[in-house]
Amino acid sequence: MQTLYPCGIFRQGQSVYLTFDDGPIPEVTPKVLEILDHYGVKATFFMVGENIDKHPEVFEQVLKGGHAVANHTYNHLKGWDYSLEEYMANVAKCQEAIAHKSSNRKLFRPPYGKTWIWQRRALQKAGYTVYLWDVLTRDYDKNRTPEAMLAQIKRETRKGSIINFHDSLKSNERMLAVLPKAIEWLQGEGYELGTLNE
């Protein structure tokens, strides 16, 4: 996948980064925040702009917790299905929702990891830092168990790893079950957990 994203970041520095896609939503995101707060951990939330506008109070909770917020398009668009103009307009709309209440740092993750090369070039030209991941938990897969996700995290994580979770209804139970165990293991291994805007 890295060959498809020469401008995308899959690992960074010496820390490990917990990231959450698709929120904020009131049914899941506050529970994630409680877990992170319990362990004293900060994370990066790649948010859907529509959800920010629907649930501003949850967005504010994430900010107050000291977490990083980032762009995941306004309507969770799969880049392959949209023209450059449509896609970039949707990204910009999400950035407006973020910047209205937060910093205007341009961190971006494409939904599904899918964009055309000309979209990636346009994102880079517009000043976005594109983050992907090197550990995809697939917590959205109803056939995945928390045990399998934890085993994968233990097997694939190294310094600089970006771990992909989802604070969504689709991932809710599986993600919330594995997250505390993953944090405990990461901290026990001596990994520093940080945010991608550091």
Q: What is the pLDDT of residues 3-55, one digit of tens each?
A: 455 568 899 899 999 999 999 999 999 999 999 999 999 999 999 999 999 99
Q: What is the pLDDT of residues 122-141, one digit of tens each?
A: 999 999 999 999 999 999 99
Q: In whole angstroms, give the CA distance from residue 191 to residue 14.
A: 8
What is the count of structural domains for the chain?
1
Q: How long a stretch of residues is the chain?
A: 198
Q: What's the pLDDT at 68?
A: 95
Q: In whole angstroms, give the CA distance from residue 42 to residue 34.
A: 11
Q: Radius of gyration (Cα) for the chain, nearest Å? A: 16
Q: What's the pLDDT at 197?
A: 77
In degrees, rounded to 5, the angle at the alpha carbon of residue 28 between the alpha carbons of residues 26 and 115 is 100
Q: Which domain holds residue 69?
A: 2-194
Q: What's the pLDDT at 105?
A: 80
Q: Is residue 198 within 8 Å of residue 22, measured between CB atoms?
A: no
CATH classification of the domain holding 15: 3.20.20.370
